[in-house]
Amino acid sequence: MVSLAPHPVTRPPAVAPLPRPSAPRHLGPAWYATVMGTAVVASAGAALPQRVPGLRAASAAVWALSAVLLVAVLAARATRWARHRDRARADLLDPAVAPFFGCLPMALLAVGGATLAVGGDVLGPGAALRVDAVLFGVGTVLGLVVAVAIPYLMVVRHRLTLADVSPVWLLPVVPPMVAAGAGAGLVPHLPAGQGREALLLGCYAMFGLSLLATLALLPLIAGRLLLLGPLPLALTPAMFLVLGPLGQSTTAVGRLADVAPTAVSGSLPAALGAFAVVYGVAVMGFALLWLALSAALVMRALRRGMPFSMGWWAFTFPVGTCVTGAEVLALRTGLVAFQWLAAGLFVVLVSAWVTVGAGTVRGLLGGALPAAPRAPRPGTGRTR
């Protein structure tokens, strides 16, 4: 997601490293991925079908950490806009950085959803609901703005080629899908009637918006891989970003189907429930295929010396959405296979979160992070 340039002397002067690498000048929007990746661990752990002693308390602690991270990154980013507005504005015109603005609304929505799922154990149910409602409202509005504004800049201002295509392009269009899943938790808390039904159907509209945008981009991503070969080493973790809309869409339709009977009547709830199962099972199958392909490409990149970077946070939130998707399918189908799939993916998620979190802490303490972002040069041909 944000790579560390191996040869700083080759950077243009505009992105040359500062004497103090910890200064917020180079703290880009990709840092919200730390919030997303942490919050999803809490949400996934709270909904795991297996009852593991101490897991809910641990999930509450991880949620608290995600809330602290959200405040810290928001403050650092605000400082960057205040003191280094030139770089902050330049990010919007940088095709390698602009898609990461989708991480902000997803961070807000992820923390909000985790607050409702497990934060009530600390704040109390009423306070947790109010926090989630605020974060959902702000995150949804920002997500819809980003879903339009960043693709607009990509069309009008950015000069892109097939070699520039990467799964990072999905980041601006995924926030409405995250909002759709988060909104499901708020549906039962609205008064019965028009408002509750409007929120339910509005979440389905955001689901459709994000799904169709994702389906428009996936052929480009697959075509780039087939025609030009693997992504550059430092960008290889971005392969996992494709799992985000896949797992999150499965989560969203399942959660919306769960609350549909409280908002609509007649045969619609049953139809939505059937759709959640049929859609979720099919998409989860493709998600597992993509997970296997991505893991193989990451292992290849590691053997070739792929360095640690903030891009490794792509191993967390997208996998977390697959965990929650499997949890939803386990609940709706009752299949033990989905329960164990959720548990297995959760182990992968926690392992990735610990590994990437430790690497990030080492980078911060050692002064290597944050660093001036420089996208790896896109590959123009196959690599062996």
| pLDDT tens per residue across span 228-255 | 999 999 999 999 999 999 999 999 999 9
d(CA 104, CA 73): 10
Over residues 318-333, the pLDDT tens digits come to 999 999 999 999 999 9
The most confident of the ranges 82-96, 113-127, 364-378 is 113-127
What single-letter DSSP state applies at residue 28? Answer: -
Are the CB atoms for 337 and 60 separated by under 8 Å?
no
CATH class in words for 17-366: mainly alpha
Helix (H, G, I), strand (E, B) or coil at 71: helix
Which has the minimum average pLDDT: 20-34, 99-113, 364-378?
A: 364-378
Task: Provide the residue ranges of all domains of the chain, joining segments of one domain with +.
Answer: 17-366
Task: Choose among 211, 286, 285: nearest CA to 245.
Answer: 211
In sequence order, what are the residues at sequence separation of 6 or more whose Cβ sits closer than 8 angstroms to the Cβ of residue 21?
367, 368, 369, 370, 371
Q: Percent of the chain scored above 70 by pLDDT? A: 90
Q: What is the pTM of this model?
A: 0.90
Which of these, 341, 344, 369, 343, lies nearest to 356 by C-alpha position? Answer: 369
- For 17-75, what is each residue's pLDDT tens digit? 333 444 566 789 999 999 999 999 999 999 999 989 999 999 999 999 999 999 999 99
Phi/psi class of residue 75: alpha, beta or left (left: φ > 0; alpha: ψ in -120 to 50)? alpha
Please state which of the ranges 103-117, 173-187, 315-329, 368-382 shows the lowest mean pLDDT: 368-382
Give CA separation, 323 vs 26, 116, 199, 329, 344, in Å. Answer: 32, 18, 25, 10, 8
Q: Phi/psi at 321 (nearest 5 deg)?
A: -65, -30
| pLDDT tens per residue, range 250-291 | 999 999 999 999 999 999 999 999 999 999 999 999 999 999
Q: What 3-state DSSP class applies to 316?
A: coil
Find the DSSP H helices in 229-267. 243-259
Exposed/middle/buried for residue 328 (C-beta within 10 Å: 0-12, 13-18, 19+): buried
